[in-house]
Every structure is written in C-alpha cells, then in structure tokens.
Amino acid sequence: MGESRQQRFTLGDWLVDPVIGLICSGNKEVTIRPREMDLLVYLAKRTDTVVATDNLIENVWKGVFVTNDSVYFSGSCARHWGMTATTLHT
C-alpha cells in the first residue's frame, strides 16, 4: 500500500487526501479504506491509460491472492462515492 502515501491532490471536483483516507467534494466527505485509496491513487496516476485487471492485482494488491471480483468490488465503490469515469479521466 505504498503508492497512496502522498500529498493530497484533486481529481475532478474531488479533493483526495491519501494520508488520512478521505475524499471531499462540496459538502460531501467520504472515508475510504486503505486498499480502495491505493486503487484510486493508482488509477488517478494513469488517467490516460487503460489498466488491465491483472495489472491492478499486481500493483495494488501486491502479492495478496485476490480474484477479479475483489478488484471489481473496489472499483464499484467509486461509483458509490459519486465518482464517475469522467472524474477518473479528468
């Protein structure tokens, strides 16, 4: 979970603070679990790239055995927070 330990940054209308695991937009604040934050940071650094599931597992889950369903579930959390594909491509 190393990539997520960086300074805060913006992603679309969202302020992302990886150190404390928080994203904010307007009056909405969402606390994010560490693995989901790692996934968000990893994808935010690659907004112009299509990232394969195997690549996510290798770089975000780093040696932990997970299925594709784990990756899909973590990705679906972004939609629950109110983020869209457009947000991630901003």
What is the DSSP track for 14-58?
EEEETTTTEEEETTEEEE--HHHHHHHHHHHTTTTS---HHHHII
pLDDT digits (tens, 9 = 90+) for 4-18: 467 899 988 899 999
Q: What band does 78 get if pLDDT is binned at 50, 70 and 90?
A: low
How confident is the model at residue 89, as a pLDDT? Answer: 46
Asked if the model's pLDDT at residue 56 lies above 70, the reply is: yes
> How many other CB atoms are found less than 10 A from the CB of residue 54?
10
Asked if the model's pLDDT at residue 90 lies above 50, the reply is: no
β partners of residue 31: 22
Give the fold, CATH level 3, of 9-88.
Arc Repressor Mutant, subunit A (1.10.10)
Asked if the model's pLDDT at residue 51 lies above 50, the reply is: yes
CA 30/CA 52 separation, integer angstroms = 26
Asked if the model's pLDDT at residue 49 lies above 50, the reply is: yes
Higher pLDDT, 82 or 74: 74
Instruction: Write out the H or E segment, with its range, that includes residue 78.
Output: helix 68-81
β partners of residue 25: 28
